[in-house]
Chains A and B, each alone.
Chain A
Amino acid sequence: MIRIQRVTHIYKKESTKQEVKALDNVSLEIREGEHIAVLGHNGCGKSTLAKHLNALLLPTAGTVEVDAVDTANEADLWTIRQMVGMVFQNPDNQLVATTVEEDVAFGPENMGMEPALIRQRVDEALALVGMSQFKDKGPHLLSGGQKQRVAIAGIIAMRPKYIVFDEPTAMLDPIGRKEVMDTMQRLNREEGITVINITHFMEEAVLADRVVVMDHGRIVLSGTPKEVFTQVDFLKQMQLDVPPIAELAALLHKEDTHIAADIMTIEEMVRELCP
């Protein structure tokens, strides 16, 4: 379990030397096996929050604990980073090596594993994301979605319990986006890995067990996708997108209260209207 307790993070802007409160007294518990989506605008603090989960940033006040280990504890830094993997937004800027398999091996190599074990982990990880046939290719020959899958494999090879995805699909086309989302869901459901997906795509948030909405460094809304997305007016006021089906459900509900207002997906809506 990751326990975030009353975390505040303040940093100084380089250009203006102004102090910015990126996180403001945030508390959140992430249970094992959960799939959480964190939503919000650029600058709402969601990426800052993400970087606290594996000690890339440390809280100015409050504590973050991963499996009861405080991230501020320097002696446990590498254990924490191994347990909490992170996939970043730009697929190009997180691949280090000149071939796919060498890149996937990077994390395990840093952990000082035996060569034979690394080999085994790399092969498994590549198979899991469906990139085995590209293992000898250079990263620059891959599509955006493929690069992201390699990045994910690089994390999986370290056998983390938690993976934080920091806007992993923001720079991808629809095909790449689907590749990454399918992989993310499979890891959560089949491998039991806890997924924390930082995103601003509502279609992705709908797939989560729990949705957390952030604004100005605070958590302003949290609940199941149904609970969150039925608050159409609140989300619109926050200038966040509402999933089109949820918006339609709200409109239909106003006209005819027999139609449920908490519908998120096309399948559910079809069942509701044509039983």
Chain B
Amino acid sequence: MSLEMNHVYYTYQEGSPAESHALQDICLNINEGEFLGIVGHTGSGKSTLIQHLNGLLKPSKGEVLIDDIDINRKDAKAQRKERRMRVGLVFQYPEYQLFEETVELDIGFGPRSMGLSEAEVTSRVQEAMALMQLDYNALRKQSPFDLSGGQKRKVAIAGVLAMKPKYLVLDEPTAGLDPMGREEFLELLGQLHQQGMTIIMVSHSMDDMARYAQRMIVMDHGKIQLEGTPREIFAQPVKLRELGLDVPTLTKLLLELKQRGLDVRTDLFEPQAVKAEIMRALKAGKEQVTC
């Protein structure tokens, strides 16, 4: 089971003078249970790409397969809707899509629009809130607009989780949060992933990617430029810089040290690992001198 993009092209305003190729020949296979990171600067096509994953945008050429079936296949509307609902899409600043009077109603909007029974909707809301670590009894009757920024965002994401997607796509989920909120959020996503959810996350933060993503793609000019594990990606700092991106801070330090002659690995990014590596290299260096 997987999400698959086969030679997908997407052109904005085809035929007009403002025509632009937002996606070009995208081939991507996202396996169930994976944590995929997508990076690229603004305008590189990453937002356009994720909107293809749940059929919000239709490819100008090529196909998007969800569990081996074309997501845009022209069969019954209900089937098409069900297929699209397997992919939950969380936009940037999702708290701006809240609209209901209470938290419970808002989270229930998705499942209700799927035509589920009220009992089923309620149980879905409870489950989704539990996943986002929101207290059902304390919050259900509250207006979502009275909550703090971080909590609003959790409610908005719970609204997507309540539709029980197999694949969860998030566009910059930590944008605008303070460090505490960001940390909490990323950990929540990590937990969701451990419980078996496939997660596709768009982010600018290389440090976040380094910590959570199992695999990354780097986009530029509507194309996938690099693909691999964070380690493999960060081992190509020159290429990344060409694409207007950076490597995590500590990786950058290791690269500088290496250039100055200290023999260190340059594919690390966590403070503890980097410390150990630097200590090892320093010791090795000293031994050489004393020998």
Contact = CB atoms under 8 A, between A and B. Distances in A.
Contact of A274 (B179, B204, B262): B262
B178 A244 contact: no
A143 B180 contact: no
B252 A200 contact: no
Contacts of B245: 174
B176 interface: yes
A48 B77 CA distance: 51
A159 B106 CA distance: 47
Interface in A190-207: 200, 202
A144 B43 CA distance: 12
A256 B257 CA distance: 18
A48 to B, nearest CB: 15
Contacts of B143: 15
B271 A247 contact: yes
B42 A248 contact: no
B271 A41 contact: no
A248 B278 CA distance: 10
B175 A171 contact: yes
B246 interface: yes
Contact of B176 (A170, A245, A274): A170
A173 B41 CA distance: 8
A202 B177 CA distance: 14
Nearest to A167: B176
A255 B279 contact: yes
Interface string A144-186: 1000000000000000000000000011011110000000000
B58 to A, nearest CB: 26
Interface in B145-204: 146, 148-150, 175-181, 183, 204
A47 to B, nearest CB: 11
Given A171-B175, A173-B41, A273-B278, A248 B180 contact: no
A26 interface: no
Contacts of B262: 273-274
B249 interface: yes
A240 interface: yes
A213 B208 CA distance: 24
A111 B219 CA distance: 47
B244 interface: yes
A244 B282 contact: no
A113 interface: no
Interface residues of A, number: 32
Given A15-B146, A248-B275, A174 B204 contact: yes
A245 B249 contact: yes
A92 B175 CA distance: 16
Given A43-B148, A266-B249, A274-B257, A248 B176 contact: no
A245 B1 CA distance: 42
B217 interface: no
B171 to A, nearest CB: 12
Contacts of A120: none
Looking at B180, B271, B282, which has the most chain A CB atoms within 10 Å of its CB? B271
B241 interface: no
A176 B181 CA distance: 22
B253 A200 contact: no
A73 interface: no
Interface in A83-107: none
B269 to A, nearest CB: 9
Contacts of A273: 257, 262, 278, 282
A239 interface: yes
A200 B260 contact: no
Contact of B253 (A41, A175, A239, A266): A266
B261 interface: yes
Contacts of B178: 41-42, 200
A16 B41 CA distance: 41
B244 to A, nearest CB: 6
Looking at B148, B179, B278, which has the most chain A CB atoms within 10 Å of its CB? B179
Contacts of A170: 176
A15 B142 CA distance: 11
Interface in A7-40: 15-16
Contact of A175 (B244, B248, B260, B282): B244
A85 to B, nearest CB: 23
Interface of B: 41-42, 143, 146, 148-150, 175-181, 183, 204, 207, 244-246, 248-250, 252-253, 256-257, 260-262, 271-272, 274-275, 278-279, 282
The 5 A-B residue pairs with the shortest CB-CB distance in the complex, in nearest-first order: A274-B260, A241-B179, A244-B249, A251-B275, A239-B180
